Structure 1
Amino acid sequence: MLENIKRGLVVSCQALEQEPLHSSIIMSKMALAAKEGGAVGIRANSKADILAIKEEVSLPVIGIVKRDYDDSEVFITATKKEIEELIESGCEMIALDATMRNRPNGLSLEELVSFAREKNPAVQLMADISSIEEAVNAEKLGFDCVGTTLYGYTKETNGSKLYENDFAFLKNVLKEVNIPVIAEGNIMSPEMLKRAFELGVYSVVVGGAITRPQQITARFAAQIPK
């Protein structure tokens, strides 16, 4: 999959239960629209959505399962159950929370990586990280790539934006790891995408700026003079 998305745009097609576009059929059509617009890959949430997307497009998929657990803040592909669902979906890559936070049932990240490798060695693994330390650790654990997905979404980084100070965090990640780095999180414009590639990222994932019309509408509405 990494070869297929090299120097390309991956579009995240996700809609949670409380969102207007929540539907596997709608997400499959969103993926088709992304393909027609030039996307080289899709990031999708849940086995059901991935199966629907794969019926609609031939693009490779980065799969995740978002699920809340009472004993952990980790919710992106948090346990073996989610890994099994994603392998069954046929996605080419699995992304999982690779932060240092405690996982459900005390499961370690290393255990989850080993479980995924044993279940299907052909499926590549993407580490969703929020810090340099986590990126370095992910490389040590054998992840195929790291993504900046969770920067700004943990207690330690809450409110931080990937594009701040000319993508300072992204630059530091690129310096510290040798595996491919995928820029993801708050890429809000084509200009931001272009800058990320100039800095040397392997690929860029864009979600809300393309596939969440309620957020896009809100940004326009916020500019109406009071």
Structure 2
Amino acid sequence: MTFNKEQITQIRKSLIVSCQAPADSPLHDPQAIAAMAQAAVLNGASAVRIDTPSHVSAVRQRVKAPIIGLWKQQIPGYEVYITPQFEHADAIASAGADIIAIDATLRPRPGDETIDILIDRIHKELGKLVMADVDTIESAIAATKAGADIVGTTLYGYTDATKHLSPPGFDLLSQMVEKLTVPIICEGGIASPQMAKKALQLGAFAVVVGTDITGIDLKVQAYQAILKAEG
């Protein structure tokens, strides 16, 4: 199979909206997620980022724009969780994703499937592009060498190696822009249009925004925490 690199061109210098919700939220429903995604695209988002096969499938029925798909999995004994194995990538691809996002940190992985093998299989067997979610410049360089088509700052601040840091990872973004040749996506911690603009000015190929646009549960909780503290 061959993959369509024109989909990368479609997201250049644009906003990608991550449409996800906590598992215990009423919004964690395929049709609710699909409605969010459709609203995002209708208002100018170039692409959407979606978790789980059922959500990807529902979004695919409403949206023609590129879907960055992933499947979060908690595997005992391992910290990697974003589409950690080929079987998860296969399910996401079958559901209709155009680009498969994977955890490309340097943390131990389940089984004997290295990043190199996983990316190669996604390319050859699924015919899909790969977005490598990383946390450090070392993992970003390794992901690029392994064949990742796009690299994102997604896991900056969320791993043991970076837990002392807070997203957005503008410093990591700047290092990646300097050292990598593949498109770089700034994702994580973008909380305003001004921050998104700064990411593009620093050289990001595109920007992913999630909670600040679609994270109703977390946003309401944040407001409530402040208001209760004032009470």
Bin of the TM-score, shorter chain as denominator length: over 0.9
Matched letter for residue 202 of structure 1: F
Matched, 1:148 2:153: yes
**Residues 56-67 of structure 1: pairs in structure 2 closer than 5 A:** 56-67=62-73
Rounded Cα–Cα distance in structure 2 between residues aligned with 1:216 and 1:87: 31
Q: Determine if contact 1:180/1:201 at 8 Å carries over to the other structure.
A: yes
Q: Determine if contact 1:62/1:94 at 8 Å carries over to the other structure.
A: yes
Matched letter for residue 55 of structure 2: D
**Residues 111-122 of structure 1: pairs in structure 2 closer than 5 A:** 111-121=117-127
Residue aligning to 1:92: 98
Rounded Cα–Cα distance in structure 2 between residues aligned with 1:16 and 1:220: 17
* Secondary structure of residue in 1 paired with 2:18: strand
Rounded Cα–Cα distance in structure 2 between residues aligned with 1:171 and 1:63: 25
Q: Determine if contact 1:162/1:170 at 8 Å carries over to the other structure.
A: no
Matched letter for residue 148 of structure 1: T
Residue aligning to 1:210: 213
Rounded Cα–Cα distance in structure 1 between residues aligned with 2:183 and 2:166: 21
Structure 1 stretches of at least 4 aligned residues deviating more than 4 Å after TM superposition = none
* Secondary structure of residue in 1 paired with 2:208: strand
Matched letter for residue 200 of structure 2: F
Aligned-pair Cα RMSD in Å: 1.4
**Residues 1-226 of structure 1: pairs in structure 2 closer than 5 A:** 1-121=7-127, 123-163=128-168, 167-224=170-227, 225-226=230-231
Deviation at 1:106, TM superposition (A): 3.6
Aligned residues between the structures:
223
Deviations 1:105-154 (A, max 9, x none): 24211111121122123x11100000000111111111111000000010
TM-score normalised per structure 2? 0.92
Matched letter for residue 180 of structure 1: P
Rounded Cα–Cα distance in structure 2 between residues aligned with 1:221 and 1:17: 20
Q: 1:17 to 1:128 in 2, by over 3 A?
A: same
Rounded Cα–Cα distance in structure 1 between residues aligned with 2:160 and 2:40: 32
* Secondary structure of residue in 1 paired with 2:159: coil
Rounded Cα–Cα distance in structure 2 between residues aligned with 1:183 and 1:146: 9
Rounded Cα–Cα distance in structure 2 between residues aligned with 1:176 and 1:219: 37
Structure 1: runs of 5+ lacking an equivalent: none
Matched letter for residue 201 of structure 1: A
Matched letter for residue 57 of structure 1: V
Deviations 1:47-88 (A, max 9, x none): 111110011121110000001101311110001110110121
* Secondary structure of residue in 1 paired with 2:111: helix
Structure 2: runs of 5+ lacking an equivalent: 1-6
Deviation at 1:38, TM superposition (A): 1.5
The percent identity for this pair of structures is 35
